Amino acid sequence: MAVPLFDTTGPVAPLRAALDAAIARVLDGGVYVLGPEVAAFEAEFAAYLGVRHVVGVANGTDAITLALQALGVGPGDEVVVPAFTFYASAEAIPPTGATPVFCDVDPETMCVTAETVRAALTPRTRAVVAVDLFGNVAPIPELRALGVPVVEDAAQAAGARLGARAAGSLGDVATFSFFPSKNLGCFGDGGAIATDDDALAEAARVLRFHGSRDKVTYERIGWNSRLDELQAAILRVLLPSLEAWSEGRRAAAAHYAEAGLGSLASLPVPSGGALPAWHLYVVRHARAVALEAALNAAAVGARGYYRTPLHRQAALAPWAPAGLSLPVTDELARTHLALPISPLLDRAAADEVTAAVRAALAA
């Protein structure tokens, strides 16, 4: 049977009536930007995360830029960021005027560590962007102990935890994307900034609204970056299901282990104390590229996401010194492969994927 890489329709199908009602509520109300739905979602998501503030913005990339600016990052500063992550984690830094500085990651968890970040720190470092990659959780408390503000990029980790705390509540400030394929995804673009810091939250609210509090007086150069009412209303319907969906993703990972996938490829490893909410289920194998082609030919979704890591991307070349050595990043870029994952992926599907991997490797 065909097994898709993502299932963005199955998990939300039981919520169709509630989603229709939420959309109708917005249409009947006639308020589409920064209205009651955004305010309600911000409060509800903050309660879920266990933080004081959530600020809805247009997308996850803007969330990182605005979070950095709220921290005071600007020209002349440096921001440490892993080179093994989605492009936006680094792309969001230059618009602040700061310089991205690339660091390596742990070969097992694929997240940054205190050691990999420490190796990239300089007297100009103003912040660290720590990515909760693939729904795993970076060791944020250890990073904060380095004494540099930490932006937790939790775009892929809604529903994950580190100990008793939710991913997105661990850094000085955290950022989320609600892109449709995310663990908590809306029906378009959307993002959020989360923090316990009153001043950071207020700065983010001003920055998302053209640098103004009232659209009359402008305090700084800001952005037009707001989560809209329709998406907020949709997210309010989906949020109560996030815990069950996260458990479903963890169950899917367990199904893969029980199916024997670990005898064929290296399975993802949770960070110490983490309860991941596997946004992507990424294994490692020396023949990952060939395996990807064979699985897709067999109607099993598979994809290498970061074959060209950030320090080797042409657009980021101005910030990648010649000879920069990030050996773990380069190895993971060559050997990683995302396999199908969703809250509904059952043992039969895991068996099907595992059998397809076995057949592809045998061939």
User: What are 144-195's pLDDT values in tens digits?
Assistant: 999 999 999 999 999 999 999 999 999 999 999 999 999 999 999 999 999 9
Does the structure show a pLDDT above 90 at 261?
yes
> Helix crossing, 347-362 with 242-258: angle to 10°?
40
Could you give the angle at the alpha carbon of 99 between the alpha carbons of 72 and 204, nearest 5°?
30
Place of tokens 């067999």: 298
Residues in Cβ contact with 79 at an 8 Å cutoff, skipping those fewer than 6 apart: 68, 73, 93, 96, 98, 99, 100, 101, 125, 126, 127, 128, 129
SS3 string, the chain, reads CCECCCCCCCCCHHHHHHHHHHHHHHHHHCCCECCHHHHHHHHHHHHHHCCCEEEEECCHHHHHHHHHHHCCCCCCCEEEEECCCCCHHHHCCHHHCCEEEEECCCCCCCCCCHHHHHCCCCCCEEEEEEECHHHCCCCHHHHHCCCCCEEEECCCCCCCEECCEECCCCCCEEEEECCCCCCCCCCCCCEEEEECCHHHHHHHHHHHECCECCCCCECCCCCECCCEHHHHHHHHHHHHHHHHHHHHHHHHHHHHHHCCHHHCCECCCCCCCEECCCCCEEEECCCHHHHHHHHHHCCECCECCCCCCHHHCHHHHHHCCCCCCCHHHHHHHHHEEEECCCCCCCHHHHHHHHHHHHHHHHC
Does the structure show a pLDDT above 90 at 1?
no
Average pLDDT, the chain: 97
Residues in the chain: 363
Does the structure show a pLDDT above 90 at 22?
yes
**Mean pLDDT to the nearest integer, 50-56:** 98
Number of neighbouring beta carbons within 10 Å of residue 48: 20
Q: CB–CB of 169/46 below 8 Å?
A: no
**Mean pLDDT to the nearest integer, 309-337:** 96
| Amino acid making up residue 231 | Q
pLDDT score at 7: 92
Query: pLDDT tier at 241 (50, 70, 90 boundaries)?
Result: very high
Number of neighbouring beta carbons within 10 Å of residue 289: 14
**Distance (Å) of CA 42 to CA 20, 155, 305:** 21, 16, 30
pLDDT score at 340: 98
pLDDT score at 329: 98
pTM for the model: 0.96
Q: CA dihedral in degrees (237, 241, 246, 248; nearest 10)?
A: -130
| Residue from 178, 165, 77, 204 nearest 129 by CA | 77
Does the structure show a pLDDT above 90 at 80?
yes
**Distance (Å) of CA 140 to CA 161, 165, 240, 243, 252:** 11, 11, 26, 21, 26
Tell me the HSE value of 199 on the side-chain side, using a 13 A CA sphere. Answer: 5
Domains of the chain: 13-240 (3.40.640.10), 242-362 (3.90.1150.10)
Query: pLDDT tier at 2 (50, 70, 90 boundaries)?
Result: very high
Does the structure show a pLDDT above 90 at 38?
yes
d(CA 273, CA 294): 35
303, with CB counted inside 10 A (0-12, 13-18, 19+), is middle
